[in-house]
Structures are given as structure tokens and as C-alpha cells.
Amino acid sequence: MASSGGGPSLVRRRPRIEGKLGTRGRNEVREPVRCGYDRRVDVGDYRRTSQEVWEAMAPGWERWRAQLTEALTPVREWLIGALGPQPGETVLELGAGTGETGFEAAALLGEDGRLISSDFSPEMVEVAPRRGSELGLSNVEYRVIDAERVELDSGSVDGVLCQSTYMLVADPAAALAETRRVLRSGGRMALSVWGPPERNPWASIGGMILLERGHMAPPEPEAPGVFSMASAERTRALLERAGFRSVRIEEVSVRFAFRALDEYEQ
């Protein structure tokens, strides 16, 4: 992305790519590949691009919902177990996508409880209700909410769920501070982010090949992206800086199955 020069800018410069994806399936470094990138990421540009990307991805996300849901079952179960939704409570899900994680919470909240299923992409917010209706859920409110500027009162929810989203927002510290703000005193939150690229070939292979072929700039470790919170230390520090205590972080393994290569390409 090119800088527009406006707003807070994250100026990144990295003149060459350090390595190349190995042929054995691991992200081993083989030989250096030179590339002449001048990387400038503008927060405003990033937010606009994210909107465009998720608008474009929403139909595919819905099409692959069943496969994604199956692959992410261990993460979803961990998050629900850690949050422990109770009947009558209000739970906010940020970055809900197709809504599956929050829907499992909604079933536990009961008729007197409420799930606010939200996403910053209006197109994704159109997807989730279709699945919610299929499941017969009547205690779900669907809203467009930006995790960095949550339009809810302070202390208004008992729990927050967020699967694979904080690492993608332009300012995760702001998003976590907003999460803390909307939680009541004693409220709980459960989140997931992705570990390092070498342990997530399902997400890194495509990017590594694009990088190797010079079609993509190498990501900076803390610039928003799939692996920007891959360090448990960084994730813990962000949570604690946002005012959270009793932080517990665990690794959860998943497996993504593809019957054919073109399933992955899509």
C-alpha cells in the first residue's frame, strides 16, 4: 500500500526479502531474493483496503463456512469454554464473520440473554443472520461495529468474544482498550489470534510464494496482518496495557483440510 501522506502513518522500509519458501513444505530459508520495496502503510489506507477486502471476501467466507467452522472447532470450543457464557448475560462478538462462535455462546445465554454479533464489514453482517436463522436463534442482534470504536455504552456487556480479528485491525491496542471499556467490572473476554507463520502453513504458504515471486512486500512484525500478534508476549502485553488482568494464553492446534488445490486457491 502506498502512503497517502495523511493521518498517522506507519512508515516501513525493508529493501529486500530475506529468504524463500523451501520445497519441503516448511518455511525454511533457501536463498536470498532481492526486492526493491519501499514500504509505507497508512492507517487510513489500511482501514479502507480492509473494508474492500472483506466486502470482496464475504461471499467466499459464506461459501466455505462449513469447512472453516469444522477446522476451527478446537479454537471455538476453547473460546466458549474460557468465556463461560451464563444464562441472561449479554455477550458481544467482534469480527464475527459468519457468526459461528458467537452462535454457540447465544445457545448458552438463553432467551433472557443477548448476543451482539458484529463485524466491521456490512457485507459480513449480512452473512451472519442467514446462519443465525438456520440455527433458529432469536436472541441475537446483528450490528456493524468497528472494534477500534465500539458504539456501545461503557460497562454494558458481560463478555466479549473475538476470533482471529484483533491482529487484523489497524490499532489492536485501541481495539483492546475499547473491549475493556464496554465490559462491565468483572466482565470476561476470550480471543484468538494466529501463532507464527512457520507453524501456520495453511495461512503462510500462499503469502510466502507471492513474496518469493516479488508480488508482495514482506510484512513487518507488528504491522496489521494475520501474524501480527503471533507472539504470546506481545498479545499478553497488549491485553495488560488495555487494563486486563488474569491473562491466560494457550496454544490450540487446528488442521485445515483441502480436497483439491483449487479449494485453497479460492
Partner 1 sequence: MVVRGLPEAEREVLRARLREAFVPFATDGGHELPGVALCAAAS
Residue placing its CB nearer to partner 1 in the complex, 21 or 145: 21
Residue for grid cell 458467537: 102
Choose the binding region for partner 1 from 96-104, 111-119, 122-130, 212-220 (rule: CB under 8 A).
212-220
For the segment 63-102, give every residue that binds partner 1 (CB under 8 A).
Answer: 71, 75, 78-79, 82-83
x/- contact string, 142-171, with partner 1 (CB under 8 A)? ----------------------x-------
Q: In this structure, what DSSP letter does residue 33 have?
A: B
Contact 163, 192 (CB under 8 A): yes
Cβ atoms 219, 255 nearer than 8 A? no
How big is the chain by its Cα radius of gyration, in Å?
Answer: 19
Whole-number minimum distance, CB 134 to partner 1, in Å? 26
3-state secondary structure of 242: coil
Supply the DSSP symbol for 112: T
Nearer to partner 1, 5 or 257 (CB): 257
Residue 236 touches partner 1, criterion: CB under 8 A: yes
* Burial (0-12, 13-18, 19+ Cβ within 10 Å), 261: exposed
Cα separation, 250 vs 79, in Å, equals 11
- CB closer to partner 1 out of 141 and 263: 263
Identify which of residues 137 and 242 has a Cβ nearer to partner 1 in the complex.
Answer: 242
Cα torsion 239, 240, 245, 246: sign:
positive
Amino acid at the residue 131: R
Minimum separation from the CB atom of position 58 to partner 1 (A): 14
Site for partner 1 in 176-205 (CB under 8 A): 186-196, 199-203, 205
Three-state DSSP at 164 gives coil
Chain positions contacting partner 1, by CB under 8 A: 21, 23-26, 53, 56, 71, 75, 78-79, 82-83, 164, 186-196, 199-203, 205-206, 208-210, 212-213, 215-216, 229-230, 232, 235-236, 239, 244-261, 263-265
